[in-house]
Structure 1
Amino acid sequence: MIYFTDELLKYCEENNTYLWEIVLEDELEVSNDSKEEIYKKLSEMIEVMKNSANTYLDKDSKTGFGLIDGYAKQANEYARKGNSFLGEKNVRTMAMAFSTLELSSSMGRIVASPTAGSSGIIPAVIARYRMEEPDVTDEKLIEALLTAVGVGKIIGRFANFSGAEGGCQAECGSAAAMASSALVYLKDGSLEESLNAASIAIVNILGLVCDPVAGLVEYPCTFRNASGAINAILSADLAMAGIKSLVPFEEVCQALNDVGESMSFRLKETALGGIAATRTGERIKKEFYEKHNE
């Protein structure tokens, strides 16, 4: 796998190949699976994503701790009214991100993409695209997902996906970057545009802390999945408009890592800072542990 932007762009141009093909070759080598087996697994993942993004759009959720119940349904009902600021499609995209987080908190089946805490972003973006382009083939979606994996591999080379190490920027920022690159591919954009989209998505969320109330991956995580999905979409649009990130993608990833290392441990999934440390956050934590230690 090639991790530097200039080298990757040059290699793909000279060899008339796509990022997803490089990722597939790498996976064939390290997994010992056949192409058919890899495609089957990815197809199954896409179906799990589709289900998680749609499960709670029209019915109430009942999560294990009750902090985020019903957000997906509420947002979806609001989208249908047709008077939102962002427009019906964007609000429904946020509803689909909520749905996956609610399913995760209900112990349902999700794809951690790349983490459980950011698992709503890629499914929402893919489900949104399928809604707009119902004729998109499974093969095209698989190639888009492999493109996202390629971007994830670059992130993993220079930074990480862990909220405990890098804050929510590492989780939702990475997911948004991966989703935006997949969107660009689905719209037949170039590799350069995919990497620009991924860069913009991370720049937009750089510095975001991880501060889950009561240490639970629910609040404010679910809002950050919703905004992360919109971040992925707007970043893809900006890149395809020809707007470039001045800083190459691998350097953006290095900055992501540097910022994560600079954060206080209180702001990295410990629930000791940020929203988790507010008076209300502390009250919820106290009530939660009292209830579950009875």
Structure 2
Amino acid sequence: MYNFKNGRELLDICKKYDKKIWKIMILREEMNTGKSYDEIFEQMKENLNTMLSAVDKGINNDKKSISGLVGGDAKRLKERYMNSKTLSSKRTLKATAAAMAVLEVNASMGQIVAAPTAGSSGILPGVIYMVKDEFSVEDDELVKMLFTASAIGFVIAKNATVSGADGGCQAETGSAAAMAAGALVELEGGTPEESLEAASMTIKNILGLVCDPIAGLVESPCTKRNAIGATNALISADMALAGIKSVIPFDEVVEAMYNVGKSISPTLKETALGGLAATPTGRSIAKKIFGEE
């Protein structure tokens, strides 16, 4: 009844039952797991609390990774938007700093929620942290955002991939940004169709992005790509809410992302054999960390 395999089917179900994406996702979970609405909602609220806790830890402390590649940048960015006249808006920088904070916590062996992966775990918490703080959104509404995001992530994972090793960073940070953008649109009163328009645009914006972690660690450039992912989500959500549409439908964008991912060289899919990881500085860092070329 509430099962769906792609974006088109999700929209059809939303229209048939006159419900938002978040509600359809909970009903799907009830049907497939046998758990009650309250059980499912509370479990997701635990995820929300873990996400926000990770942001707080990273944005208020210098969370250094063991490698020393990342740490303290989220706090630096927070200090800039709190104390300086910035080029970007405070809301944008608050979301990006929060996204970076989660990646710094992850790199320092802290607890995060893979949303959908550890390498992209900052984007969704980043935008959620910002809307909670800037718009005084209640936690239950934030939990609903997570259900909307999970529905979009489910469709991407089922029809393509969210793995950097399989599809490049477009599949990780692209998927996370799509999830965040769709959730933002629904929070702001947008339609299910507008949520998927936003999700489409976020993926299109970074189609082809490679995964080239320095020294093979989920630290750099991952942290800053999460910052860009949060910004991507905010911009795409605003475009969708303004009535701007993606020329290519969501399901076709997801398929294109998957096909692009298959065509990316293995050296650019989490192997640390190409891209930034293969630069002289990247190789030097890897040698310093691991004592080998």
1:21 matched residue in structure 2:
23
Cα pair 2:11 2:192 within 8 Å, conserved: yes
Return the offset for 1:235: 0.4
Q: How many residues align?
A: 290
Moved over 3 A (4+): 3-8
Secondary structure class of the residue paired with 2:58: coil
Which letter does structure 2 place at the counterpart of 1:51?
A: S
Q: 2:51: which partner in 1?
A: 49
- Residues 77/201 of structure 1: CA separation in 2 closer, same or farther (3 Å cut): same
Give the gaps of 5 or more residues in structure 1. Answer: none
1: distance between equivalents of 2:98 and 2:248? 31
Instruction: Give, in whole Å, the separation in 1 of the partners of 2:10 and 2:50.
Output: 31
1:169 maps to what in 2? 170
Per the TM alignment, residue 5 of structure 1 is displaced from its structure 2 partner at its CA by 3.9
Q: Please, what is the CA RMSD of the aligned residues? A: 1.3
Residue 207 of structure 1 aligns with an amino acid whose one-letter code is: G
Q: Deviation of residue 4 (structure 1)?
A: 4.1
User: Structure 1 residue 36: deviation in Å?
Assistant: 1.4
1:18-40 Cα offsets, whole Å, 9 max, x none, are 22222112211222322111111
CA drift at 1:6: 4.0
| Corresponding residue number in structure 2 for 1:109 | 111
**Deviations 1:225-248 (Å, cap 9, x if unpaired)?**
000000000000000000001111
Q: Alpha-carbon deviations, 1:100-141, whole Å to 9, x = none? A: 01100111110000000000000000000001121x233222
Tell me, in whole angstroms, the C-alpha distance in 2 between the residues paired with 1:226 and 1:151. Answer: 20
Greater displacement, 240-249 / 55-64: 55-64
After the TM superposition, which residues 133-148 of structure 1 pair with which residues of structure 2 at under 5 Å, given as runs? 133-134=135-136, 136-148=137-149
Query: What CA distance in whole angstroms lies between the structure 2 residues aligned with 1:5 and 1:269?
Result: 28
**For residue 213 of structure 2, what is the aligned residue in structure 1?**
212
Confirm or deny: 8 A CA contact 2:176 2:229 kept in the other structure. yes
Q: Does 1:252 align with 2:233?
A: no
- What are the within-5 Å matches in structure 2 for residues 1-294 of structure 1? 1-134=3-136, 136-290=137-291
- The verdict on how the C-alpha distance between 1:39 and 1:11 changes in structure 2, with shifts beyond 3 A counting, is closer
Distance 2:61 2:154 in 1: 36
Equivalent-residue separation in structure 2 for 1:230 and 1:94 (angstroms)? 7
Q: Is the 8 A contact 2:7 2:155 kept in 1?
A: no
**TM-score using structure 1 length:** 0.95
Q: Which amino acid in 2 is paired with 1:35? A: Y
Does structure 1 retain, via aligned residues, the 8 Å contact 2:6–2:159? Answer: no
Change (3 A) 1:42 1:7: closer
Write the letter of the residue equivalent to 1:47. Answer: N
Per-residue deviation, residues 266-293 of structure 1 (Å, max 9, x unmatched): 0000000000000000000111112xx9
- Give the stretch that moved more between structures: 231-240 or 24-33: 24-33
Distance 1:106 1:133 in 2: 30
1:156-196 deviation line (CA, Å, top 9, x unaligned): 12101100000000000000000001101110111111000
| Superposition deviation, residue 62 in structure 1 | 2.0
Any conservation in 1 of the 2:197–2:240 contact (CA below 8 Å)? Answer: yes
Q: Which moved more, 1:23-32 or 1:63-72?
A: 23-32
1:11 is displaced (CA, Å) by 3.0
Structure 2 CA distance for aligned equivalents of residues 257 and 122 of structure 1: 21
- Segments of 5+ residues of structure 2 without an aligned counterpart are none
Residue 80 of structure 1, CA deviation: 1.5
Contact 1:82/1:88 (8 A) holds in 2 = no
Question: Letter of the aligned partner of 1:12 in structure 2?
Answer: C
* Residue 88 of structure 1: how far off its partner (Å): 1.9
